[in-house]
Amino acid sequence: MAMGVGFYANQARALHAQALRPPGALAEEQFLAACTRCGLCVRDCPYDTLKLARPGDPVPTGTPYFTARAIPCEMCEDIPCIRNCPSGALDPKLSDISDARMGLAALVDHETCLNFLGLRCDVCYRVCPAIDKAITLDSIHNTRSDRHAMLLPTVHSEHCTGCGICEKACVLPEAAIKVLPPALAQGKLGEHYRKGWEERKKHGGSLIGEQVEFPVRGLEGRAYGDTRVGDVPMPPPADELPSEGPGGASGLNSRWRP
């Protein structure tokens, strides 16, 4: 019977994706070994954020969790939930709440996020306790209207504590930004991946030296790499050259006319 319970416990181990552990919680495997299920963290939470899972909840019975969309973590500077934890399931070494990693916010729905629709909602960005660090607004061209910018909320895992205030504040009936366990929210680059532009900056120049630039047939006279077609003023036939000189066709043209 007890072994059966053990296997059941093993199956139930994966924490529900929308249930977040208190700040400083050990990794889930360790947490389930350590937590006494006493609820002292729940009692010491001044915002009633934390709950102890009841039998039937999608979280191991008796362990503390919170749901960001209901009540997010307000990131108290003195972290009272950790103070009285008897076992160390909430790590007492966490002294700066901005080092907490309760989860990771992810803008999961690009179809409904108002900023992705080209509007200026910005609410998740504005409420973020680590504004301009954990969430930034990244500007890109709005190709639909062709005359506006879209300011896309972008989460930076380096600074996001997973407090869930953004998810709570999202104005949509169902939040487009959600706090998830990092393993669900994050992709991972291949170990061998290097970002050329970063390596170049580190190195102070291209690592492979200057590249040989071959002429591209039909695009002679353009700046190297400019392969645009259409209205771009084509250089006159080679025999009529040169009146403008190369590089005369540079610059973006959205083709918008008032």
Partner 1 sequence: MEALSRASGLPGRPGQDAVAAKGWLAAHKWLLLRRVSQLGILGLFLIGPWFGIWIIKGNLSSSLTLEVLPLTDPFVLLQMLAAGFAPAATALLGALIVAAFYLLVGGRVFCSWVCPVNMITDAAAWARRRCGIKSGHAPDVRTRYWLLLGVFIAAAVTGAQAWEWINPVSLAHRGLLFGMGAGLWALLALFLFDFLVASRGWCGHLCPMGAFYRLLGQTALLRVAAPARAACDDCMDCFAVCPEPQVIRPALKKAGQESPIIYSADCTTCGRCVDVCGKQVFRLTHRFDQRSSS
At its nearest, how many Å lie between partner 1 and the CB of residue 32? 4
At its nearest, how many Å lie between partner 1 and the CB of residue 52? 4
Distance separating alpha carbons of residues 194 and 198, to the nearest angstrom: 8
Distance separating alpha carbons of residues 162 and 66, to the nearest angstrom: 11
**42 vs 131, beta carbon nearer partner 1:** 42
At its nearest, how many Å lie between partner 1 and the CB of residue 19? 14
Residues 225/214, Cβ–Cβ less than 8 Å = no
Name 138's bridge partners.
152
**56 vs 187, beta carbon nearer partner 1:** 56
Distance separating alpha carbons of residues 44 and 86, to the nearest angstrom: 13
**36 vs 154, beta carbon nearer partner 1:** 36
151: helix, coil or strand? strand
At its nearest, how many Å lie between partner 1 and the CB of residue 197? 43
What is the contact surface with partner 1 in residues (CB under 8 A)? 1-3, 5-10, 12-13, 29-30, 32-40, 42-44, 51-52, 54-57, 60-62, 84-88, 92
At its nearest, how many Å lie between partner 1 and the CB of residue 67? 14
At its nearest, how many Å lie between partner 1 and the CB of residue 168? 22
Distance separating alpha carbons of residues 66 and 61, to the nearest angstrom: 13
**18 vs 115, beta carbon nearer partner 1:** 18
Could you please report the per-residue DSSP string of 182-208? HHHH-----TT---HHHHHHHHTS-TT
**33 vs 252, beta carbon nearer partner 1:** 33
**24 vs 235, beta carbon nearer partner 1:** 24
Distance separating alpha carbons of residues 56 and 42, to the nearest angstrom: 19
Distance separating alpha carbons of residues 162 and 25, to the nearest angstrom: 12
108 exposure class (CB count in 10 Å sphere: 0-12, 13-18, 19+): middle
